[in-house]
Every structure is written in structure tokens, then in C-alpha cells.
Amino acid sequence: MAGIRWGAILPQGWRLDLVHLADPAEQFEAMVEVGREAEALGFDSVWLYDHLQPVQAEPETTFECWTSLAAVARETRRVELGQLVTCNSYRNPALVAKMAATLDAASGGRAIVGLGAGWDGREYEAYGYPAPHPPVGERLQRLGEAAQVVRTMLRSPRSTFEGRYYRVRDAVNVPVGVRRPHIPLLIGGSGEKVTLRLVAEHADACNLTDHTDPQFYRHKLDVLARHCDDVGRDYDDILRTATLSVFVAPDESGLQRMTAPHLDGRSRAELAAHNAVGTPEQLVETFGALVDAGIQSFVLYFHESTRLESMRLFAREVMPHLR
């Protein structure tokens, strides 16, 4: 199990994780402080969601992803900085490449570009993006073209691309970033026909989400491996990542307190089907099984994240057993 990498998702408001703090500056500082603590605890990366308003439609704080990462970059020294995942519809992909190169320079070579097709129709409508919400087929076609634009512009100071949805003509991107050989591109999603094919064709990493069943990952990674064979790509060149929400407590009574507000009529076993739920000893088994299924890197959202106890407990009693 050597070489497993760990990432932490910072509280930015989308999951209503800053509502207990009243002042926006205090909220932003709390988000940054979790990033600093993750670095101190030995996490390899920190991440933000790319959402513009909270998961529920109440007017609560949600900090924008890329500008927030630029601030986190200047408050940290080692952790990589990624997005889960940049919604392709929100920004022109050539602009994303320019933003990524700037973030990479600002962080001394720690940027990751996470890219996805987008899904939240509420945000499309609220912010005036193309309406109606584009159908999934079109969004995936756009994602494929965007991945090519971003990939090209992060490798060459001048780029030209002619697609159905995106065109760049002799676009200059200097610097292309400082990381070598290039800033990595991660594509999020588990669609077997299109999304995982795009990973095989264009990405340095994949991201699968919200399952604790090892068989889910074995199956999806088998599909990815077949796509790699079809396009002539080395499967081992792609970093296999998974994102999970984590409920961790020292004992069963602590778990009951933590999970009770999130059950919504479900059993804890049902909650644990899509979230990592357990004591440290139980989570060593949970994550070990996912490593055995082929996952190499985890990106984790810790409930009660601004309080830091969960992240500290996980770093102290789970991560050392899976390095």
C-alpha cells in the first residue's frame, strides 16, 4: 500500500459548513486555516468544489473556487491545489488554462486542473449560463473539446484548436506553468462510454466518487483500462483517485452523535454505502479495501471540518496505516 496520497476538501460554504461563523472574513480565514492544518498533518493536497451557491438554495456564503485557491496557495508551501471539479460550462477552457498556469506560478508548481461536464442546473439558470441546462450528451462533447484545449495550452506557449464548441487561434499562454513536465489534468466522472474514454484520451488522473464498495471501483477501473488499450494509452500513467465524505470518531458513541443529523431516515449502513463511516480501526479496513481495488489517491471531505478534530484523528490513526 506504499504511495497512497491523501487530499482534504476545504470548507468553502457550498455544503453549509461555514454557517456557524457570521463574518465573511472570518469564514474565509476558517477555510484557509483548514488548508494550513491539512498541510501540517501531512495531507498531499487540498481541494475546493466548483460551485457558486450553496447546495441548498438559501443565501449563504459560498466562496468561488479558483480565486480562493490562489489565496490558499500563498498560505501554504507544499500541498497541491485542485478543484472538484471545474465546471466546464462556467469558464472558457482557454481561460481555465491561463488561470491554471497563473495558480501554478503563484504556488511554485502545485496546481492541478480538475475538469468536469457540470451538473447543477440551478446554478446555470441563476448565473445566466446557457439555458436550458445543456443535455448531458452536449455537455460531454464540450468536456472532450475543453480537455483538449486545456491540455494543449498547458504544454505549449502557443496553441490552436478548432472544434465544434471551442476554438483557439494561436492563443498565447506564457508561462504554461512551472511544474514539469506539465500541470496535471484530472477528469471527474464515472460514465463508462464517454467520460472514462475521455480520461484515457486526455487526462493524467481520473476521479470517482461517493462509493465504499470495492467492486464499484474495480469495475470502473476495468472499463478505464479497456479504454486505455483501445487508444494506446498506458493505464498506469493515469492516477486513480476517489472522493469520499468521511465521518470518523474515536468510538461508537461519537459516531452516533456525528451521523445522526445526516441519516434522514436511513440506517447507518445505508449512509456508509456512499460515505466512509467508522472509527479509525474500521476506516483502515474501508480504505484498505479500496486501495486493493486499485485506488491510489483519496480526496476527503470531513464533516464538522472547521473544528479540525476529525481530520486530525484521521491523519493520526488512519493515514499511517495506509502509506
Cell of 303: 464533516
Percentage of residues of the chain with pLDDT beyond 90: 93
pLDDT, tens digit, 9 for 90 and up, residues 129-150:
876 678 899 999 999 999 999 9
pLDDT, tens digit, 9 for 90 and up, residues 257-296:
999 999 999 999 999 999 999 999 999 999 999 999 999 9
Burial, 273: exposed, middle or buried (Cβ in 10 Å; 0-12, 13-18, 19+)? Answer: middle
pLDDT at 58: 79
CATH homologous superfamily of 5-322:
Luciferase-like domain (3.20.20.30)
The one-letter amino acid code at 310 reads: S
For the chain, how big is the Rg over CA atoms in Å? 19
pLDDT at 132: 64
Judged against a pLDDT cut of 50, whether residue 1 lies above it is answered with no
**H/E element, 16:** none
pLDDT, tens digit, 9 for 90 and up, residues 59-104:
999 999 999 999 999 999 999 999 999 999 999 999 999 999 999 9
The one-letter amino acid code at 51 reads: H
Sorting pLDDT into bands at 50, 70 and 90, what band is 118?
very high
Judged against a pLDDT cut of 80, whether residue 57 lies above it is answered with no
Which residues 6+ apart lie within 8 Å of 281 measured at CB?
Answer: 317
Q: What's the whole-model pTM score? A: 0.96
Percentage of residues of the chain with pLDDT beyond 70: 98
Cell of 279: 472509527
